[in-house]
Amino acid sequence: MLQQRIPATVITGFLGAGKTTLIRNLLMKADGERLALIINEFGDVGVDASLAKECGAASCDADSIIELANGCICCTVADDFMPSMEALLNQSPPPDRIIIETSGLALPQPLVQAFQWPSIRTRAMLDGVVTVVDGPALAMGQVANDMGALEAQRQLDPELDHDTPINELFHDQLSAANILVMAKTDLMTDADKIKVREKLGRLMANDTPVIETNAGNAPMGAIFGLGLEDEAFARSAHSLHDHHHHDDDHDDDDDDDDHHHDHDHDHGHDAFKTVIMTLPPLGNSVDIVNAIRDLAGPGGMLRAKGFLAVQGKVAPLVIQAVGSRVDHYYAQADMTGDSQDSDMAAGLGRLVVIGYADMDVSGLAERIGGHIT
């Protein structure tokens, strides 16, 4: 039997963007999974790891947290990252999932490519790259809230690139992402959020979904289980300095006096929901792919995954959607689990939809003939 590869998620973003807060929220929602962390600490040694341990989740045991304080992990892959990964993979039992937090000014591309090394790829799977962006800072035309601290971080680390402008490094982090997380949305108006989404859309060459989060809310189901290893490899292999989608990060239309941070529209702790839907055999795959794609977008679906029955087909149709990108293919016989097997035996399919609380999942069910369970 082939050894199951352990999924790993790379979380990147500038200093102060909200990476540690996101990780602590994910740890709190681990739901029995044993998570391991590789934290690329910088500056005050132990700060991020201490915050993670203080979250109180069972995933935060000391043996599952590795701190790297010797410079940028993405610049010292062989010396720091590889031994750390091997130490976690050699644990008995091994972790269920690995989270890797890069330092604020790291380019994730070298780290992503390291997952193709034979000693890692046979045992770990790169589930996806998540880039966290500071929503309020971007709304004010900056890539970080404290630009001085960001520049000081770069100057203190001899491994980092000291010549490339900060904005170009930001664009490189965006280009590597399978998912973008707009953090601190509780400090933003609705107009701010729209403005930042439009800005990110102009900067991104690829269709990359944007998830809005705040200090107490992170949709674990939308961030984990992406299965986008091949896409992550392709994006990281692309030129690191292809910046023809740049725009001015200091927009002239920014009005700092108009940022009153109205919280009336903040979604709070119930911003996201997960819906399970059963479906009768489909006439074809095109209709459901189009319906799922239409549900994606601001305030809509973030993820969808499932095994569906199709008339005239023996194998189930596998659906894996991230934002408006919907991948679908017919499964191998051993891919479905027990619950899916029972559904398929009864001629039914199952679709799990993860998204914002206000998404029109009832409309999706009506459109495709599904029943929400």
Indicate the helix (H) or strand (E) that contains 317.
strand 317-322
Residue 137, pLDDT above cutoff 90: yes
Given a cut of 50, is residue 309 above it in pLDDT?
Answer: yes
Confidence class for position 356, pLDDT limits 50, 70, 90: confident
The amino acid occupying position 356 is Y
8 A C-beta contact, residue 328 and residue 319 = yes
Nearest CA among 323, 32, 304, 351 for reference residue 181: 323
| Mean pLDDT calculated for residue range 61-65 | 67
Residue 260 has pLDDT above 50, yes or no: no
Band the pLDDT of 9: cuts 50, 70, 90: very high
pLDDT, greater one: 303 or 265: 303
Is the pLDDT reported for residue 48 higher than 70? no
pLDDT average, residue stretch 117-130: 91
What are the structural domains, with CATH classification, of the chain? 6-258 (3.40.50.300), 271-372 (3.30.1220.10)
pLDDT at 182 > cutoff 90 = yes
Is residue 279 within 8 A of residue 272, CB to CB? The reply is no
Q: DSSP letter at 326?
A: E
- Partnered with residue 191 across adjacent β-strands are none
* DSSP per residue, 147-165: HHHHHHHHHH-TTS-SSS-
240 pLDDT band, cuts 50/70/90, is very low
pLDDT in tens, 314-352: 888 888 888 888 888 887 654 445 444 555 556 788 899
The pLDDT of residue 101 is above 60: yes
Cβ–Cβ < 8 Å for 175, 108: no
> Mean pLDDT highest for which of 208-212, 218-222, 345-349?
208-212
pLDDT, position 125:
94
Look up residue 102 and give its two tokens.
Answer: 């890069």
How do beta strands 272-279 and 349-356 pair?
A: antiparallel
Q: State mean pLDDT over 348-360.
A: 88
Q: Is the pLDDT of residue 194 over 90?
A: yes
- Check whether 196 has a pLDDT greater than 90: yes
